[in-house]
Amino acid sequence: MASSIKAKPSFTPNGAKDVSIVLTSFLIFKLLLLSVALLVPYQFDTSASHMFTGPPWLLYVLHRLVAWDEIHFIEIALHGMQYEQNWAFSWIWCSVILRSGAKLAQLLGFDPAVGAALIGILSSNIFHLLACINLYHLTKTMFGQQRSIPLISTLLYIVSPAGIFLSVAYTESLFAFLSFLGAYFRAKGYLLIPGVIWGLSCGVRSNGLLWGVPSAIGLDELALWRLGRQIKIVIGGICIAGGFIGPQMTAYNRFCPGRPWCKRPIPLIYGFVQDKYWNVGFLRYWTLAQIPNFLFATPTIILFHMSARYYRGDIALHPYIFVQMMMLISAIFMWHVQIITRVASCLPIAYWYIAEMISHGARNPSIAKGSRYAVYYFILWTLSQAVLFAAFMPPA
C-alpha cells in the first residue's frame, strides 16, 4: 500500500497495449452510453426545444443531450456574462470553448446555438479521453512497480460515476483533464507548471482553488539553497489564486458598487450567487425532500471515506486526500449533495483504491467481491444516470 506510492516508474512495452485497450474500451462505452441517452422517448423539460434550429434528427439528438446547466452554458456563450447569476458558471468553458463553436457555426451559416452545443459535446468527450490518458500516466508514475494499477484505474475512470456529464457539454471533463495534468507534473517533480495548469482549472471550476494545497508542497523548506524552488512554488500558488480571483475582479468591476455583495469584507460574486440563486449554504439541503439525492450520493460518499482511510498512511497522498475530503465535507454540508458524483471526477484516489482492491482480489475473495460490487455500481449507475439525464430527471 504505502510503499507503492514511492515506487519508481516502470515504463514497459505493455504501455502501447494498455493504450489500445483504453481507447477501445472508451469508444465502446461512449457509444453505449450515448445510445442509451438517445433512446429515451420523452423529456420532461422543453427548454432545449426552443434554443435550436436545424434538421429533425439533429434536434432530436440535442434535445436529449442538452439539459440542466447546459442551457445556461449556451446562453452565456451566445450573449456573454450579462446577468449576476451567470457568474456561477465557468467563464473559460462558456466564453471561450462554447463561444468558439457558436462563432464557427455562424461563419458557416448555421445556428450558433447548435455550434455551441456540438463543440461542447465534442470537447467534453475529447477531454474525457485526455483525462483518462493523464490518469494512466499519473498512476504509472505513482505505482510504477504495480503494472496492473494504471490500466485498471483508467478503465474504471472510463465508467466513472460522473457518467453522462463526461459526455455532454459540462465542465467536468475539462476540469478533470487539468486536474490530472497538474497532478502528473507535480508527481514528476515540477513546481511551476502544476500551478499554471491548476490556475487554469480555477477558471473552469472555482474549487480548483483547492489544488493550491498540493501545489504548496515543499514551501516550508526555507533553506537558502532551495530559494529557486520556493520562488517557483510561490509563483505557481499565485497562478492558482489568480485563476480564482481574476473572474471575481471582473465581476466586481462590472456590478459594483450597486449590489449588496460588493460591501462584504471579501466581495466575491460566486458565493453570493450560489447563496441567492441556488440556495447553497450550510445545512440548507438537509430537508426531507432531499433524502433521495442523499441516497444518490451515498455510494460516492462511502467510497471517498474508504479510499481516504486506506491511503491515510501514504504521506505523499495526504494533500490529495485533503482536497478529496474538503470536497466531500462541502458536498454533505454545503452543496447540493448529489453533484458529488460528478464533481468527484477530478480526484484520482478513489479509482486507485478500487484498482488496488481488484489487484489484491486474486489473493483475497472478500476483497474481490467488494471490488466487483464497486465496478457493477459504476456501470449500472452511469447507464441509469444517462436515462435520467436525457429525461430531465434528478439527479443533476
* 265 burial type by CB count under 10 A (0-12 exposed, 13-18 middle, 19+ buried): exposed
Euclidean distance between CA atoms 302 and 62, whole angstroms: 34
**396 lies in some domain:** no
Bigger pLDDT: 115 vs 316: 115
How confident is the model over 144-164, as a mean pLDDT? 91
pLDDT at residue number 54: 92
The answer, yes or no, to whether residue 211 has pLDDT greater than 70, is yes
pLDDT in tens, 123-151: 999 999 999 999 999 999 998 767 789 99
Domain that holds residue 118: 2-390
pLDDT at residue number 46: 76
Neighbours of 284 (CB within 10 A): 15
Band (pLDDT 50/70/90 cuts) for residue 372 is: confident
* 34 burial type by CB count under 10 A (0-12 exposed, 13-18 middle, 19+ buried): buried
How confident is the model over 290-294, as a mean pLDDT? 95
Q: Left (φ > 0), alpha (ψ -120 to 50) or beta: where does 80 sit?
A: left
CA-closest candidate to residue 311, choices 322, 300, 327: 322
Q: What are phi and psi of 83, to 5 degrees?
A: -115, 155
- Per 3-state DSSP, the chain is made up of helix, strand and coil in percentages (nearest 5) of 75, 0, 25
Output the nine-digit C-alpha cell for 351: 479509482
pLDDT at residue number 362: 57
**206 lies in some domain:** yes
SS3 77: helix
Question: What is the average pLDDT score of the chain?
Answer: 90
Report the share of the chain in percent with pLDDT over 70: 93
pLDDT at residue number 38: 95
pLDDT at residue number 339: 94
Alpha-helix runs per DSSP H in 220-290 = 227-255, 269-278
**152 lies in some domain:** yes
How confident is the model over 169-181, as a mean pLDDT? 98
Band (pLDDT 50/70/90 cuts) for residue 222 is: low
pLDDT at residue number 9: 41
pLDDT at residue number 2: 42
**53 lies in some domain:** yes
The answer, yes or no, to whether residue 226 has pLDDT greater than 50, is yes
Residue type, 374: A
Judge if pTM exceeds 0.85: yes
pLDDT at residue number 8: 41
**300 lies in some domain:** yes
CA-closest candidate to residue 12, choices 134, 156, 187, 151: 151
pLDDT at residue number 145: 65
pLDDT in tens, 84-98: 999 999 989 999 999
CA-closest candidate to residue 220, choices 204, 233, 206: 233
Sequence-distant (≥ 6) Cβ neighbours of residue 253 within 8 angstroms: none
Band (pLDDT 50/70/90 cuts) for residue 223 is: low
The answer, yes or no, to whether residue 172 has pLDDT greater than 90, is yes
pLDDT in tens, 244-290: 999 999 999 999 998 999 999 999 999 999 999 999 999 999 999 99
The enclosing H or E element of 146 equals none
What residue has cell string 434536434?
A: 59
Sequence-distant (≥ 6) Cβ neighbours of residue 85 within 8 angstroms: 273, 277
End-to-end Cα, the chain, rounded Å:
35
Neighbours of 9 (CB within 10 A): 13
How confident is the model over 311-322, as a mean pLDDT? 93
The answer, yes or no, to whether residue 10 has pLDDT greater than 80, is no
pLDDT at residue number 227: 81
How confident is the model over 159-180, as a mean pLDDT? 97
Euclidean distance between CA atoms 116 and 97, whole angstroms: 8
How confident is the model over 368-393, as a mean pLDDT? 91
**395 lies in some domain:** no
**31 lies in some domain:** yes
How far is the CA of 76 from the CAs of 69, 91, 96, in angstroms?
A: 11, 9, 10
Of 90-94, 105-109, 282-286, 367-371, the range with the lowest mean pLDDT is 367-371
Give me the number of domains the chain comprises. 1
Output the nine-digit C-alpha cell for 389: 439525464
Euclidean distance between CA atoms 296 and 382, whole angstroms: 12
**106 lies in some domain:** yes
The enclosing H or E element of 259 equals none
pLDDT at residue number 6: 40
